[in-house]
Amino acid sequence: MSLENIACNKSFGGWHKRYRHRSATLGCDMVFAIYLPPQAESGRKLPVLYWLSGLTCTDENFMQKAGAQRLAAELGLIIVAPDTSPRGAEVPGDPDGAWDFGHGAGFYLNATEAPWSRHYRMHDYVVQELPALIEANFPASDARGISGHSMGGHGALVAALRTPGRYRSVSAFAPICHPVQCPWGEKAFSRYLGEDRSKWAEWDASLLIANAPERLPLLIDQGDRDSFLDTQLMPESLRGAAAPAGHALELRMQAGYDHSYYFIASFIEDHLRHHAQALKAD
Amino acid sequence: MSLENIACNKSFGGWHKRYRHRSATLGCDMVFAIYLPPQAESGRKLPVLYWLSGLTCTDENFMQKAGAQRLAAELGLIIVAPDTSPRGAEVPGDPDGAWDFGHGAGFYLNATEAPWSRHYRMHDYVVQELPALIEANFPASDARGISGHSMGGHGALVAALRTPGRYRSVSAFAPICHPVQCPWGEKAFSRYLGEDRSKWAEWDASLLIANAPERLPLLIDQGDRDSFLDTQLMPESLRGAAAPAGHALELRMQAGYDHSYYFIASFIEDHLRHHAQALKAD
C-alpha cells in the first residue's frame, strides 16, 4: 500500500499532513489528513482519534476549522480525518447533482444497491482499511476513538455501535441520530440500501443502541439553534433509546449554538479530553 | 451609516457576526466580520484588535481558521476582520486576472493612480472609516490594536507606523516587510502609486520605521520554512531598520513553520496576549 504525501504543515509543534492512496475497499483514490502531535517523534505509539466530517466536507474542514491540533498536541493524540465519500470520475454521484447524496455524502455505510455498492463502502473503509493503514505507517497504537459532525456524527455512532471492541470512546457534534426517520437518511438509505426499510435499521444509531453489547463513554453536543435539529438530527430519539438499554449518554444541549464549525470549535476541547481520558487509560 | 447583518454564529460564549455596509471611503459595498466576546454583553466598552488578512483572503479566513475566538473570549477582546480590498463590479481588478493585484489584493494603501485611486483606499478604510463604524455601533472602546498576515502584516505595520496615537499595540505573522524591494510590492505599488518610486516609501514598514515617532510593542512571528520568506517577506530588513531607530521589535523565527493558517493558529495565543497586555493596561 503506497501513500503519497500531498501536503505537510507544521502545527503546534507537530505536523498536519495529507496523503493520497488507492483504497481497495472503495475502488478509488482517497485522500486523508493526519495530525501527528509532537509526541509522535518519541517513537512511542500514540492513541488515535478518527474524525468523520459532515455532508459536503472533505478531509480539510476539521483540520482547518476545529482548533483541535492545540489540544491534540497537549494530550498526545493523533487525529485522522478521512474524506466523506469515495471520489473520482469512476465513482457515480447524485444523478441530480445534489449535495446530500453521492460525492461528499457517503453516510459511512456499506451500500448494497447498484450502482452504489461498487464504491460506497465508507463503513468498511473507516472501520477497517483506514485504521490498518494508519497503524502500519504511523506511530499509532490500536487505542482508537471516533467522533464526527452531523452525517459524520451518525457515522461515528454507528461505527462504534456495530463493532464492539474496536473503539474505546465515541462522541459526536450534532449527529444525525435517527436517519431512518429523517429526509437526509431516507434519501440516502433508499438509494444506497434499497427500498426495504427493514435493512436500514443496522445503520441507525437510535435502533442499534438497544442491542449494542458494549457500553462506551458517549458524549454528544447539540446546539439548540441548529436549523437541522428537529427535522434531521433528532437527538431525543437516541436519548430515548439509550437510557433503557443502560447506556450512559451525556447529551448536552448548548444554548444559542448552530450547526457550524464555530459550534464545534467552542466545544472540541471537552471532546478531546473525553477521548483522551478513555484512550490513555491503560 | 446602515449595517446589514448577514451572518451570526455563537462562538465560545460570544458571537461571530458578519455585516455588509456601504463604504464612503472605498465607493463600494464592503463586508467585515466581528467577534464579540461574552464580556460584550456587560455594556462595558471593550478594546478591539483589528486583523488584516493576506492576498486572496476575505473577512472569513481568520475567523474560521486562526482559533482566535477562544482567546478573545478569555481576554475580553473584540476582533474585527475587514475584507482585503474593495469589491464589486464597479471596482476594477487585475487586468490579467492575477491573484496578487486588484480584488483581494488592496495592499492596505491609498492608491493615487487612475483607475485605482477611485476605490483602492484600504488604508483610510481600515484606519479611519472602519474603526469609526465599529466604535459607533458596538461596545468598542478606542483602545485599538492591529495585526495581520503577509500582505495584512504589511498593512498592520504601516497603519501603526503612519498613525501615531491610533494604536496601542501591533503585531504580524509573516509580514511583507519591505514591499518596495519585493515582486509583490513592486507590482502593486507601480500600479497603485505610479512609477515614481520615491512615493512608495511612505507605504513600506522598513523605510517608515526609521522616522516613526511612536514606540509600540511590536511582535512578529515568521516561519523559517515559509516559501515566500526570502523573495517577498524580508523580515531582516525591518529588523535592520528597527534597531538603530530604537524600536523594540521582537522578531521570532519559528523553526519548521510555513506561510499557512496552521502557522498562525500555532502562535495566535501569544499575539492576543501581547495585544491584551497593551490594550487592557489603563
CA-nearest residue to B259 within chain A is A9
The length of chain A is 282
The three-state secondary structure class of B33 is strand
Cβ–Cβ of B266/A65 closer than 8 Å? no
Could you report the per-residue pLDDT of A86-136, keeping only the tens digit for each? 999 999 999 999 999 999 999 999 999 999 999 999 999 999 999 999 999
How far does the CA of residue B65 sit from the closest CA of chain A (Å)? 5
Whether the CB-CB separation of A39 and A28 falls below 8 Å is answered with no
From B152, B155, B142, select the one nearest B59 (Cα to Cα): B152
Residues A68 and B35: their CA atoms lie apart, in Å, by 20
The length of chain B is 282
Residues A111 and A236: their CA atoms lie apart, in Å, by 27
Q: Which whole number is the average pLDDT over A50-63?
A: 98
Cβ–Cβ of A16/B262 closer than 8 Å? yes
Confidence band, pLDDT 50/70/90 cuts, at residue A244: very high
The three-state secondary structure class of B272 is helix
Residues A54 and A51: their CA atoms lie apart, in Å, by 10
pLDDT of residue A1: 59
Whether complex ipTM tops 0.90: yes
Whether omega for the bond prior to residue B95 falls within 30 degrees of 0, making it cis, is no
Across chain A, what does the average pLDDT equal? Answer: 97
Whether the CB-CB separation of B67 and B55 falls below 8 Å is answered with no
For residue A6, give the C-alpha cell. Answer: 500531498
pTM over 0.95: yes
Across chain B, what does the average pLDDT equal? Answer: 97
Residues B177 and B192: their CA atoms lie apart, in Å, by 18
Helices (H) and strands (E) in chain B, counts: 9, 9
pLDDT of residue B43: 87
Place of cell 511583507: B176
pLDDT of residue B1: 59
pLDDT of residue B281: 79
A chain contacts of residue B11, beta-carbon cutoff 8 Å: 262-263, 265-266
CA-nearest residue to A11 within chain B is B262
Q: Is B7 on the interface with A (CB under 8 A)?
A: no
Q: Which whole number is the average pLDDT over A213-222?
A: 92
A chain contacts of residue B221, beta-carbon cutoff 8 Å: none
Percent of chain A with pLDDT over 70: 99
Whether the CB-CB separation of B223 and A10 falls below 8 Å is answered with yes
B221 among known catalytic residues: no
Whether omega for the bond prior to residue B47 falls within 30 degrees of 0, making it cis, is no
**Residue in A226, A247, A271, A275 annotated catalytic:** A226
Q: Which whole number is the average pLDDT over A133-156?
A: 98
Whether pLDDT at A282 is above 80: no
**To probe the interface with B, which of A8, A10, A63, A224 has the most B CB atoms within 10 Å?**
A10
Low-confidence ranges of chain B (pLDDT < 70): 1, 282
Q: What is the DSSP letter of B130?
A: H
Q: Which whole number is the average pLDDT over A241-268?
A: 96
